[in-house]
Structure 1
Amino acid sequence: MRARAVFGVLRLAAAAACVIALVHRLFWGLSSRTIAGENFFAYLTVQSNCALVVVLVIGGALAFLRATDPRWFSVCLALVLTWTITAGLAFALIVWQAGIRGIRVDVPWSDQLLHFWLPACTALAWALTPGHREVPWWVVPASLAFPLTWGAVTLWRGPLVGWYPYYFLDPRQVSGPPEFLLTSAVALAIFALVATAIVLISRTRRGRTDAA
């Protein structure tokens, strides 16, 4: 239980850091006085990190109260980690492509924390935190439900407000339907691959525990 308590504190600390980063990113975006700042909550990163805060707070409490996490919590955490980690990978690709095209992309410390440091730390914690339950394979297809729903709402909302959170969803910034479909398929494939890795780690760790 002592190790669980330590990771419980770490979960709560990560939730607090996430809240601070989200608040800073909100006001940083609003200070830019652009439509992107006004649509802060339209980003998949923001929505998934809001969910991460809730899950980490619950997980912190569970770490103090139970020797193992209930299966429903492990499933919820696996889904949320899939979304936040994939969002971080996608953001890194966007920044890289922008650099190739000579487009300046400002990345404040809050964006770095939300897109890079928190996903990396939570992924490491997933592999190390004691008391995780084995996650079923249906989590992989289930993890696609959120990005698909978010994408559909974004495509519906984009023409109404004249803005899209990511360039590859904007018909004005892609060469046509083939590029849009290809980019979207790659994004969904990354979600599925990340979910597969998360499920595999949980099942491998469970096997080691049983063997021990």
Structure 2
Amino acid sequence: MPNRYRSFAAIAALLGWLALALQLLLSIQLTIANGQGALTGVWIYLGYFTILTNVLAALALTAAASGPHGAVSRFFTRPDVHSAIAMSIVIVAAIYNLMLRQLWQPHGWQIVADNTLHVVMPALFLLYWWLAVPKATLRWPQVIIWQLYPAAYFASALIRGAITHWYPYPFLDVGSLGYLRVLINACVVLLVFVVVALLLVALGRWQVRRSGKTVALPTQP
């Protein structure tokens, strides 16, 4: 990544980690107030796709800011990994703002955490992806591999729900909708993931072609 974007990545990473820490604190406070204990707050916190995806985004931005110094940081600086995270965090923003925002009214610091995780971080990560991530190695078949993450999350959400009878999102609530409806909902959402991934690859390849044409332009005398 060009050095001029490392400060951007560092600031975005710091904001992401602060928002995640704030949301964790709020989750623990809520479960303690409800008499469920701190560990329940952590358990519920880790059950949200929003949280997991923002953790991945913060890790990728941190690796980009510090440089690839080990196997983990090299993994998180790979263009395909950045693109997969971009796909997921776009879905985080879209589903929350289009489907879930109207279902509750957060107050106080929860407003800050919600908007940072669902609006600010998706926008910053997508901007970083556009400006700083090299895209010449992006290929169409990678789109299929990127779906392993949301598919694994869906499976884990159902397993957790079967054990605890708690589901993180209304469209995954087997208790209210039944397994067939939840499976249909998951397939629809997965299709949206695929569409967003294809769009990102298309944009990346267009950006590479456009950059190549710009470099190939003859200099003016």
**TM-score, normalised via structure 1 length:** 0.83
- 1:71 Cα deviation after fit: 11
Q: Find 2:30's aligned residue among 25, 29, 32.
A: 32
Task: Return the alpha-carbon distance in structure 1 between the equivalents of residues 64 and 166 of structure 2.
Answer: 36
Task: Return the alpha-carbon distance in structure 1 between the equivalents of residues 79 and 134 of structure 2.
Answer: 9
- Tell me whether 107-116 or 76-85 shows the greater mean CA deviation: 107-116
Would you say 1:157 and 2:154 are equivalent positions? Answer: no
Structural RMSD (CA): 2.5
Q: Which runs of 5+ in 1 are unaligned?
A: 64-68
2:175 paired residue number = 172
2:80 paired residue number = 75
- 1:208 Cα deviation after fit: 1.2
Task: Return the alpha-carbon distance in structure 2 between the equivalents of residues 119 and 21 of structure 1.
Answer: 12
CA separation of 1:134/1:208 partners in 2, compared to 1, >3 Å: closer, same or farther? farther
Q: Find 1:187's aligned residue among 186, 189, 194.
A: 189
Would you say 1:87 and 2:84 are equivalent positions? Answer: no
Task: Return the alpha-carbon distance in structure 2 between the equivalents of residues 197 and 71 of structure 1.
Answer: 21
SS in 2 for 1:164: coil
2:15 paired residue number = 17
Q: Is the 8 A contact 1:29 1:40 kept in 2?
A: yes
Q: Which runs of 5+ in 2 are unaligned?
A: 69-73, 215-221
Task: Return the alpha-carbon distance in structure 1 between the equivalents of residues 67 and 183 of structure 2.
Answer: 41
Which structure's CA Rg is the greater one?
2
Task: Return the alpha-carbon distance in structure 2 between the equivalents of residues 131 and 182 of structure 1.
Answer: 35
Counterparts of 1:186-205 in structure 2, within 5 Å, are 186-205=188-207
2:138 paired residue number = 135
Task: Return the alpha-carbon distance in structure 1 between the equivalents of residues 129 and 85 of structure 2.
Answer: 12
Task: Return the alpha-carbon distance in structure 1 between the equivalents of residues 53 and 75 of structure 2.
Answer: 21
Tell me the percent identity: 22
Which is bigger in relative contact order (C-alpha 8 A, separation at least 6)?
1
- 1:31 Cα deviation after fit: 1.3
- 1:132 Cα deviation after fit: 4.3
